[in-house]
C-alpha cells in the first residue's frame, strides 16, 4: 500500500516556500480573510483543458499567523505506568512547537511515536495534519522531553491562522513489538473554546493568489460539488495543483460528520479511463467531526515516462474506488466509484500497438519499451477487456526471458473492469545478463501471462507471448 499522507499538499510544492514568510499583522484580531467562495465562479480554460473555478475576490496577501497561543499542562495519556504530558506551547511565524514530557514508570523499555505511516491521528483545529512527528525510546524508569512541531506554512495552506486546539495520539511499543494506540487527546490553547475553525478555510486558502505565489503552485482545477457521500463522510471539494516544474497533485477535501474515526481508503485508480493502479493506494484516518485533505500524486501512481505511450498528454479525469474502514480495518462500506472530471473533453486512450493476444474477450497489445524514473527498462502493454466480467491480468512468476535468457522482473497485476482498458507494465531487473548492452538492443521478450476472473483463482487463460522490438523502440 502506498500512502499519500507524507507531506500532504506541500510535499512537492515547497521549493519557493521562503517567499511565503508571513508578516505580523497590524490588526489586533488576526484571522482568515472574509472573502467568500462564490458558487457561481466562472469557469476558465487552463492550459491542460481542465475546468477551473476561481474565486471572484481572491485574497491578495498571506494571512498573518497569531503567535500568542499558550497552553496549560495537559495529560494526554496515563495508564500502566506511562504518562505523556503536554507541558508548553510556543508559536512563531515558522512553526508551532508543542513540548511533551514522556514518563515511563513501567518495568520495560518502550518506544513512543506519533504521526507515522502506521498511526497518524493528529489534528489542529479539527483539520487532520501529518505534522507532530515524534519517535523516541524511553527506558524503564526514565523520562524523555520531546518537542513536536507543526509548520505554520502548512497550517496557513489549510486556512489555519491561529491554534485553538491540538489533537494527538501515540503508538507505544514494547521490546516484543506489541503496540497499543492511544486515542487522540485534545490540548486546548489560550485562544479558547469559543473559536471555531471556519468550514471553508481550506477552500479560501487554496484559492488565495498570494499563497499560491508564495508556495510556487497554480490551481489548474477546483470545484466544490460533492462527489462522495457515504456514512457521514463527504468529499466537499477537489482540485489539481501544479508547481513550476510541472509536477501535479490531486486533492480531495474529505469531511467526517459521523461519530467514529474512519479510514478513507482509495484503490483501482484510472487516468482518462485507463486503469493504471489496481488494489489499495492510500488509507487516511479522519477523526469524528474532522476533515482531511487527501492527496494523490499522479506521477507516483503511474510513471509520467509512460503517459505519452498511452496517449495521456494531460489528465482529463481521475477515477478511483473508495472504501470506508474502521480502525480495526473492517469495511464499513462497499467500494464506491469516485470520479474527478478535470476536463470537458477527456483525451482518448491510445490503443494502438502490436497484438500479442486476442481471445476470450481479452485483447492485449505491446506498445513500446520505456525507461522509468528508477532507470529500469519496462515493456508497456495495453489490455482491453470485453469479456463480460472484470478480470485480473498479470505475468506468471519466473516466466520472463530477454533474448532467451531468464530475467528477474516486477509487474503488478491489474484489475480491469468489463469494457475497460488497463496498462500492464513489466519492468526488468538485471536485464543486462541477457547479453544486451543497451535498451535499444533488446530484440524480444517472452513471458507467460495470467488472466483470471477478478479476485478468483479461476484461470481464464495463461498464454505464452513474445514481444518483439526493433532498434529505437524505447522512449
Mean pLDDT of 114-139: 93
Residues 6+ apart with CB under 8 A from 442: 369, 377, 402, 403, 431, 434, 436, 469, 474
Q: pLDDT: is 399 or 35 the higher one?
A: 399
Weakest-pLDDT range from 29-43, 177-191, 314-328: 29-43
Q: Quote the CA–CA distance of 7 and 1 in Å, as a whole number.
A: 17
Strands (E), 92-216: 95-104, 110-114, 123-124, 127-128, 134-138, 142-151, 165-168, 171-174, 179-181, 185-188
Predicted local distance difference test score (pLDDT) of residue 438 = 58
Mean pLDDT of 59-87: 91
DSSP conformation letters of 305-374: GGGGGGT-SS--EEEEEEEEE-TTS-BSS--EEEEEE-BSSPPPP---SEEEEEETTEEEEEEEEEE-TT
Note whether 178 and 170 are within 8 A (CB): no
Predicted local distance difference test score (pLDDT) of residue 416 = 96
Predicted local distance difference test score (pLDDT) of residue 399 = 95
The answer to whether residue 272 scores a pLDDT higher than 80 is yes
Mean pLDDT of 169-192: 94
Q: pLDDT (tens digit, 9 = 90+) per residue, 222-243?
A: 999 999 999 999 999 999 999 9
Q: How much of the chain exceeds pLDDT 90, in percent?
A: 71
The answer to whether residue 49 scores a pLDDT higher than 80 is no
Note whether 124 and 186 are within 8 A (CB): no
DSSP summary character for residue 8: G
Q: pLDDT: is 469 or 111 the higher one?
A: 111
What is this structure's pTM? 0.84
The answer to whether residue 415 scores a pLDDT higher than 90 is yes
Amino acid at each position: 500500500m502506498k500512502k499519500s499522507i507524507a507531506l500532504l499538499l506541500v510535499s512537492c510544492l515547497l521549493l519557493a516556500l521562503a517567499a511565503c514568510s508571513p508578516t505580523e499583522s497590524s490588526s489586533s484580531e488576526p484571522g482568515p480573510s472574509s472573502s467568500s467562495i462564490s458558487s457561481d465562479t466562472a469557469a476558465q480554460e487552463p492550459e491542460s483543458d481542465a475546468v477551473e473555478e476561481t474565486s471572484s475576490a481572491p485574497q491578495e496577501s498571506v494571512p498573518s499567523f497569531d503567535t500568542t497561543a499558550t497552553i496549560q499542562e495537559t495529560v494526554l495519556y496515563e495508564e500502566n505506568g506511562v504518562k505523556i504530558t503536554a507541558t508548553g506551547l510556543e508559536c512563531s511565524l515558522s512553526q508551532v512547537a508543542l513540548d511533551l514530557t514522556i514518563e515511563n514508570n513501567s518495568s520495560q523499555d518502550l518506544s513512543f511515536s506519533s504521526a507515522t505511516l502506521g498511526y497518524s491521528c493528529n489534528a489542529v483545529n479539527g483539520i487532520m495534519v501529518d505534522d507532530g512527528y515524534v519517535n523516541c525510546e524511553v527506558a524503564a524508569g526514565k523520562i524523555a522531553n520531546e518537542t513536536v512541531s507543526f509548520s505554520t506554512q502548512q497550517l496557513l495552506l489549510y486556512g489555519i491562522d491561529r491554534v485553538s486546539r491540538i489533537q494527538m495520539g501515540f503508538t507505544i511499543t514494547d521490546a516484543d513489538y506489541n503496540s497499543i494506540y492511544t486515542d487522540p487527546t485534545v490540548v486546548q490553547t489560550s485562544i479558547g473554546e469559543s473559536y471555531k475553525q471556519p468550514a471553508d478555510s481550506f477552500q479560501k486558502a487554496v484559492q488565495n493568489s498570494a499563497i499560491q505565489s508564495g508556495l510556487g503552485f497554480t490551481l489548474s482545477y477546483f470545484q466544490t460539488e460533492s462527489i462522495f457521500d457515504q456514512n457521514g463522510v463527504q468529499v466537499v471539494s477537489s482540485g489539481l495543483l501544479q508547481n513550476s516544474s510541472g509536477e501535479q497533485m490531486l486533492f480531495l477535501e474529505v469531511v467526517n460528520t459521523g461519530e467514529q474515526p474512519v479510514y478513507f481508503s482509495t484503490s483501482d485508480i484510472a487516468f482518462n479511463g485507463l486503469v493504471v493502479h489496481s488494489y489499495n493506494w492510500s488509507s487516511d484516518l479522519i477523526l469524528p467531526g474532522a476533515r482531511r485533505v487527501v492527496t494523490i500524486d499522479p506521477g507516483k501512481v503511474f510513471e509520467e515516462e509512460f503517459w505519452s505511450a498511452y496517449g495521456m498528454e494531460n489528465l482529463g479525469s481521475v477515477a478511483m474506488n473508495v472504501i470506508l474502514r474502521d480502525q480495526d480495518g473492517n469495511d464499513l462500506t462497499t467500494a464506491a466509484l469516485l470520479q474527478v472530471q478535470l476536463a470537458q473533453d477527456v483525451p482518448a486512450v491510445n490503443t494502438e500497438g502490436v497484438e500479442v493476444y486476442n481471445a476470450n474477450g481479452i485483447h492485449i497489445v505491446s506498445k513500446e519499451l520505456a525507461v522509468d524514473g528508477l532507470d529500469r527498462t519496462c515493456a508497456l502493454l495495453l489490455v482491453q477487456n470485453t469479456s463480460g466480467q472484470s478480470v485480473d491480468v498479470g505475468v506468471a512468476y519466473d516466466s520472463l526471458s530477454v533474448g532467451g535468457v531468464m530475467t528477474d522482473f516486477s509487474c503488478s497485476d491489474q484489475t480491469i473492469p468489463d469494457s475497460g482498458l488497463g496498462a500492464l507494465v513489466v519492468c526488468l531487473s538485471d536485464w543486462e545478463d541477457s547479453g544486451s548492452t543497451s535498451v535499444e538492443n533488446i530484440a524480444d521478450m517472452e513471458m507467460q501471462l495470467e488472466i483470471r476472473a477478478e479476485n478468483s483463482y479461476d484461470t481464464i487463460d495463461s498464454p505464452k507471448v513474445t514481444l518483439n522490438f526493433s532498434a529505437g523502440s524505447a522512449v
